[in-house]
Amino acid sequence: MSAFVVDLSTMQKVVHGICGQWTVESPIRGLVFLSEWFLGERVNTHKAATRLGRRLFTLNIEAVMQAYPDCQDNPMNLPGPHGIFKDAQSFEAGVVPIIATVDRAARCFDAIETLAYQCSEGDVVYSPDFKALKVWEERMGFALLVKQHGMERVRIHPVTRNPIVFGTRYDSVNRAIASTVPGFKKESH
Range of the structural domain that residue 176 is part of: 151-189
Q: Reduce the DSSP state of residue 37 to 3 states and report it.
A: strand
Q: Reduce the DSSP state of residue 31 to 3 states and report it.
A: coil
Q: Reduce the DSSP state of residue 141 to 3 states and report it.
A: helix
Residue 25's pLDDT is 44
In the chain, the number of structural domains is 2
My answer on whether 81 and 167 are in the same domain is: no
- Read off the pLDDT of residues 115-173 as tens digits, 9 standing for 90 and up: 999 999 999 999 999 998 998 888 777 777 777 666 556 666 666 666 666 655 445 54
- 1 inside domain: no
State the pairing for strand pair 98-99/21-22: parallel
Rounded CA-CA distance 108/104 in Å is 6
Residue 53, pLDDT above cutoff 80: yes
pTM of the model: 0.74
Residue 138's pLDDT is 81
Residue 150's pLDDT is 63
Residue 43, pLDDT above cutoff 80: no
What average pLDDT score do residues 1-21 get?
Answer: 86
My answer on whether 54 and 95 are in the same domain is: yes
- 125 inside domain: yes
My answer on whether 91 and 64 are in the same domain is: yes
Residue 3, pLDDT above cutoff 80: yes
